[in-house]
Amino acid sequence: MKDLFKRLEGRWKVASTEVSGRKIESDEEWSFDNGNYTWSDSKRKLRGYASINYTWDPHQIYFHHEHSSVTGPIETGDVRNWDSGIYKLSDDGETLKVCLGQLPSKEFATTKEDKRRLYVLKRVKADAPAK
């Protein structure tokens, strides 16, 4: 499982975002380091740790939020404490798709009714991991 996280390590820039079937603008950047993550944009920063269920196809990913620059520490049990979904890394390791929302879902898509979020991220080249 550590190999899965190794492939995600580095910085990622959000190339496109879709929420409930509607494309939105985003200046968000994500980073992964040894199972920890940071999501940041011009208004906030959220950090915590992630876990992967590699028995699913596509793999499930869980984000456990621990701190927000807006609200401070996030307590376990708080409804804002986690996000979950599915992810897929391209074969060349340069594009990451993440669809967050209600599970189980195996599709990288959103609809008006589902309140899901689909992110397509591109790796920031300077931070590509060694092979």
- Residues 76-87: tens digit of each pLDDT: 666 667 889 999
The reported pLDDT for the residue numbered 63 is 92
Mean pLDDT of 104-129: 84
Taking the C-alpha atoms of residue 65 and residue 37, their distance in angstroms, rounded to an integer, is 9
pTM: predicted TM-score of the whole model, two decimal places: 0.86
Return the H-helix or E-strand segment holding 22: strand 22-24
Hey, which bits of 26-131 come out as E strands?
29-33, 36-40, 45-53, 60-68, 72-73, 82-89, 95-100, 117-123
CATH of domain 2-120: 2.40.128
Q: Convert the pLDDT of each residue in 51-77 to its tens digit.
A: 998 888 899 999 998 988 887 777 766
Query: Which residue ranges make up each domain of the chain?
Result: 2-120
Asked if residue 63 lies in contact with residue 83, where contact means CB atoms within 8 angstroms, the answer is: yes
pLDDT tier at 17, thresholds 50, 70, 90: very high
Q: How far is CA 94 from the centre of its chain?
A: 14
Cβ within 8 Å of residue 125, ≥6 positions away? none
Give the position of tokens 């520490």: 73
What tens digit of pLDDT does each residue of 18-36 get? 999 999 999 999 999 998 9
pLDDT mean over 89-114: 88
Question: C-alpha 107: how far from its chain's center?
Answer: 15
Paired sense of beta strands 95-100 and 117-123, if any: antiparallel
AA identity, residue 81: N
The answer, yes or no, to whether residue 116 has pLDDT greater than 70, is yes
Q: Does pLDDT of 131 surpass 60?
A: no
